[in-house]
Structures are given as C-alpha cells and as structure tokens.
Structure 1
Amino acid sequence: DLHQNHASQLYRYFSTTSARFCILTNGIVYEFYSDIDSPNKMDSKPFFEFNILDFEDHQINELKKFTKSAFSLEDILTTASTLKYTGAIKKILEQELEKPSEEFVRFFASRIYGGRLTQSVLEQFRQIVKKAREQFINEKINDRLKSALSTNEDKKEEISEVVETIGSSPKNDGIETTEEEIEAYNIIKAILRNVIDVKRVVMRDKKSYCGILLDDTNRKPICRLHFNRSRKYLGLIANKQEERVEIESLDDIFKYTDNLRAVIGEYSE
C-alpha cells in the first residue's frame, strides 16, 4: 500500500532537482505529483492517480499527455490544478453520498426544513438524503441512455447562424459541466495563449453543448463542445457557421489549432 511515509523520499528528491513532476508507484497504482500549492515544493497530495487494474477512459487521455510525442509542460500544468481539486471533490462526494456526515445532512435539512434540527430530525433526513441520492443517480443514468439513443438525430442538425445560438442560457437542472469539458476548455486556452489573453476566453455550458466564447459574448463564438453523446464532436466556427468534426480523444483538439486561432483573427478584423 502507498502511504505518506513512502512519499517522504520522493519529497526530498523533488526538492533537490529541477523536475516539475514526480511519480510514486507500487507497480499498479501510479500517483503523479507536482508543486501546485507551493513552487519548488512537492504537494502532499497527487494531482492525478492511475490504477492499471481500475481506470476510466478519461484517465487514459490524461496519461497520454506524458508520452514523449505529446508531452507539453505547459499543457499538463494548465490542467493539473483542475485535476487535483476535481479528484479531491469527487472523493468527498463519494464518501458523503455513501455515508452522509451530519454536516452534509444538516446542509440539506437547513434549506428545506423550517423546524428545529434535533438529532431525531437529522437522522430522518439522513435516510431521505440516501434515498434522494439513489433516485438522482438512476435518473441520470436513464437520461444518458436516452441521450445515446438519440445520437443520430443530433448528427443531422445543420446550423446556419451560430451567433444566434451560442452563448448564455438560463440556468436549468439539465446542465452538467463535465470533467472532459473543463479539460477541453483548458486545452483550447493553451492553444490560444500565443494569440490572445486567455482571460478573454470563457466557457458557457448549455444543456445540449458547451460553448467557448471570446469576451464572454455570444456574438464571438470560438467553438462548441458536443460531449453529451456517445461520440465526441468539436464544433469549429468559420464565417459565423459551425462545422462539426469527430474527435476520438481530447488530444485531437490540437489538430485544429489553426482553425481555433483563425476564428480569433476574424473578430480582430
């Protein structure tokens, strides 16, 4: 088992070299560390973990970034912070949803219950929270299945005026910003970093797609992310019209660097 005391030797190595990444492994679990919290000081927790016996598809995409042909220090560091905190939040959510703590139960109960939160009331809400969790997960699974079945219908959609459709939308319960959308957003910012201040690049998520905009305005769409289906599509913008291209992995976004930079040029003219 990998424990904190095993990382102490790695911690010393990291502080005496110019390395930006280091790995602790037992041959099955690989923990990737960097200095996100404090420069030149190895973080106490890894920003990415990979288990060769138990992994998700999106973790493969993260691992590919460390291959020799794709390695980019800037690109990895751009997403490392998001990966680290996203992973930590997911672990907390997993623990709370499996065995809700009193603070977690109290958070929901205080928002919907007007009476005094006694111990018996909290215990009652603990069961309600568990039941709500099960129903929520089942509903999300059913939504995904329905979404997969309607993939062919979405392919036929032709967009003639992207400016009118990309941009902000009223907040609703159907919107869910995924980890892959956040990662793709960071990749696009890395691509545009040399041509524009990335603070001007904004992500606006909608129910059917995720829009990437310039200056946070729907009049300047950069691209669209269609990740809500079984296949992933990148919507490229040119002359205010969209062309969808299928991508197998998020790394494929780099193939369209020229397209993404070109659309920025259109708004500068």
Structure 2
Amino acid sequence: MEFENTISELQATLRKHRAKLLTEEAAKTTLVLPFLRALGYDIFNPDEVIPEFVCDVGTKKGEKVDYAICVSGEIQVLVECKPANGDLSIKHASQLYRYFAATDARIALLTNGVLYRFFTDAEKANMMDDRPFFTFDLDNYKKSDLRTLAAFQRADFNLERIVSHAGALKLQSEVTAELRKEFADPSDDLIRLIAGRLHDGRLTEAVRERFRNAIANSISSLIRDGINERLENAISHGGAIEEVPPAPADDDGVETSEAEIDGFNIIRAICASKVSPARIVMRDAKSYCAVLLDNNNRRTIARMHFNSPTSRYLGVFAGKDETRLPVTEPVDIYQHQKALLARIVELESGNGD
C-alpha cells in the first residue's frame, strides 16, 4: 500500500504542476527522481543512481545518459529523460541504443516523467528492442500496471525474472492493442474472414460495410452479454459480483479502471431492484465513466469521476443537472442508493430524458 500511495501522490504532483514541466530538468527533479525513489532507489547515492553516466562507445566519446541504476554493484538499468511535454518516439533514444550494447545493462527506460517506457533485448541479444515491453502511464494507470511496475522495485529486483517475462508481456500488450483496433473498427482482413464464411456472393463495398457494422455491433454485444450474465448470476444467487474485464474503449487513450468496474457493478446491483440489469450498461470516456439505461447517452443514470485516486466523485442526476458527491472507494456508492433509484424512476417515467 505504501508503494501505491507514493505513486498516487506523484500522480497528484504531475496533475498539479504539469504546465510548468516544460524542460528536461523540471521533469527530472519533479517526476523522474521521485519515481526512482518510489521504486526504492537511493537517488542521493552515486553508487546506486549515477547521474550523467558516461560511456565511450566506438568513436562516440563522452556521451551521456541521464542515469544509470545499479543493483548489487552492477549497472542494471539505463534511464534517458525528456521534457514532460516531449516526444518519446524511439528515434530520441539513440544513446540508449548505443549504451545498451556497450554495458551489461539489460533494461532501458525512456521517460518524460509521465510515460515510462521499459525496453530490453527480447528480440535479439544485446540489442535494445524498438518497442517497449511495458509502458507505465503516471497520469492514467490501473492496479495491474502497479503490479507490473512493482517488479522494478529495488527490494524485489530480479533481472532474469524481468527479462524472462518481458517477451510475453510485450506480446500481450501488442495483441491487446490490435484487438482494441479490431473491436473499434474491424479491419478488411477480419471482414473478409467472417464474410467468407457467411456470404456466398461477391464482396461488394455495400456488403463489406454491412458486415463491418454487424461485426462491431456483435463484438460489443458479446462483451455486454458476458458482463450481464455474470452480474445476473451473482444477483440471482445472492453472491458477490465477480470482477469483469473492461470493454474495449471507443476512444484512444481510454482505459477502464478496476475502481470504475467495481463502481459499475455496485450501481447495477442497486438499480436491479427497479429495472432489468441487462438494461444497465457502462460507457467509458476520458474524463468520466458513464452508467446508462438502455445504452442511451441521453438516459444517464450516473457518472463516475474516478480518474484521480485521491479525489473521486459520483455524479448523480435530477433532470439534466448533475450533482457530484465525494466518494473515497466504490463501496461508498451504496450511501447514495436513494438518489440512484430516484433517477431510475425518473428515467422510466420519461421525465429525465
């Protein structure tokens, strides 16, 4: 919990001072060094965190990376920093590429203080991969991200374990990204695959678009049905509602957190006394997560403003007016059961649309 709290406090610092972090030095002192400290490294000990690490590589003399991190006297991680508003494309990691091959380090970290991209040599020994195997977004992370990040803590640092898991983690993240794209906008390849099994005629543009829409709607329906089935089983048997995975986001950069899933489950359980749980759905966005009746954004039951773990609010509605009520944990939503049920009655009567 201490680790989670420290990262949460660092996130609050980022959101408070983001506009001022326009230089690399500002990003280092305000975000990167506290981040390394949160991982348990003594940033004031040059035997553990070496600033401006120099390593001559071929004809390149006197080049530096921002930090080298040592564990048990061996250099294990190289860190290259950029301004908080700076680009983190791989072309800006030239020193990391060269130093990775010239030192014993197996982990490279490219960061602007907000995004922390971890690289290794999963594809070819002693050559840093072009793509990271793990990215931690300080501004928008999930508990599962914290669990992965915890592997880099000094107390638990195990290089072989990290490297052995890196390939699988990288592949999983890439597959997830591709599936999100397919879910949001089915590719021609997927359309041809499905249409080839179901359509006997020529695949005209009109047929292609019909299948594109049907595939996208079917994927969304499958996800909703899976969530509905779990919730209905839990409600009908009087048991606890098990955790369900978030539906893929419609907008880039939107990730549904565990707190939002828990909150959605609670709201749905409360409202199940008035309407069928199958009619209550979740639709996440960048600034809030909405709970809707009949998947209609004009029939909003509530909104969860949970993006900040230190300042959370439940938005309840009367007509078109939203009132934000502070909550600490999703379970606090039960305190507002009366307002949620009143909203269901209002929507069912047609007065809340």
Shorter-chain TM-score category? Answer: 0.5 to 0.7
CA distance in 2 between partners of 1:124 and 1:42 (Å)? 44
In our comparison, the structure showing a higher alpha carbon Rg is 2
CA distance in 1 between partners of 2:144 and 2:238 (Å)? 20
The structure 2 residue matched to 1:89, chosen from 175, 178, 182, is 175
% same residue: 37
DSSP-derived class of the 1:65 partner: helix
Give the equivalent residue in structure 2 for 1:139: 225
CA distance in 2 between partners of 1:153 and 1:26 (Å)? 41
Structure 1, unmatched stretches of 5+, are 155-175, 177-269
Give the equivalent residue in structure 2 for 1:28: 114
Residue identity matched to 2:94: S
User: Is residue 2:132 matched to residue 1:46?
Assistant: yes
Alpha-carbon deviations, 1:229-262, whole Å to 9, x = none?
xxxxxxxxxxxxxxxxxxxxxxxxxxxxxxxxxx
CA distance in 2 between partners of 1:147 and 1:72 (Å)? 42
Give the equivalent residue in structure 2 for 1:203: none
How much does 1:113 deviate?
Answer: 2.2
Considering Cα pairs closer than 8 Å and 6+ residues apart, tell me whether 1 or 2 has the greater RCO.
1
- 31-40 or 140-149, larger mean C-alpha shift: 140-149
Alpha-carbon deviations, 1:139-164, whole Å to 9, x = none?
2322443566569589xxxxxxxxxx
DSSP-derived class of the 2:200 partner: coil
Q: Aligned ranges for residues 195-206 of structure 1 at < 5 Å?
A: none
Q: TM-score, normalised by structure 2?
A: 0.41
Gap change, CA 1:148 and 1:82, over 3 Å in 2: farther
The structure 2 residue matched to 1:124, chosen from 205, 210, 231, is 210
Q: TM-score, normalised by structure 1?
A: 0.53
Alpha-carbon deviations, 1:24-43, whole Å to 9, x = none?
00100000000000000000
CA distance in 2 between partners of 1:95 and 1:50 (Å)? 20
User: Is residue 2:101 matched to residue 1:10?
Assistant: no
Give the equivalent residue in structure 2 for 1:77: 163
Structure 2, unmatched stretches of 5+, are 1-86, 246-353
Residue identity matched to 1:17: T
Alpha-carbon deviations, 1:146-201, whole Å to 9, x = none?
566569589xxxxxxxxxxxxxxxxxxxxx9xxxxxxxxxxxxxxxxxxxxxxxxx
Residue identity matched to 1:128: A
Residue identity matched to 1:117: L
Number of matched pairs: 155
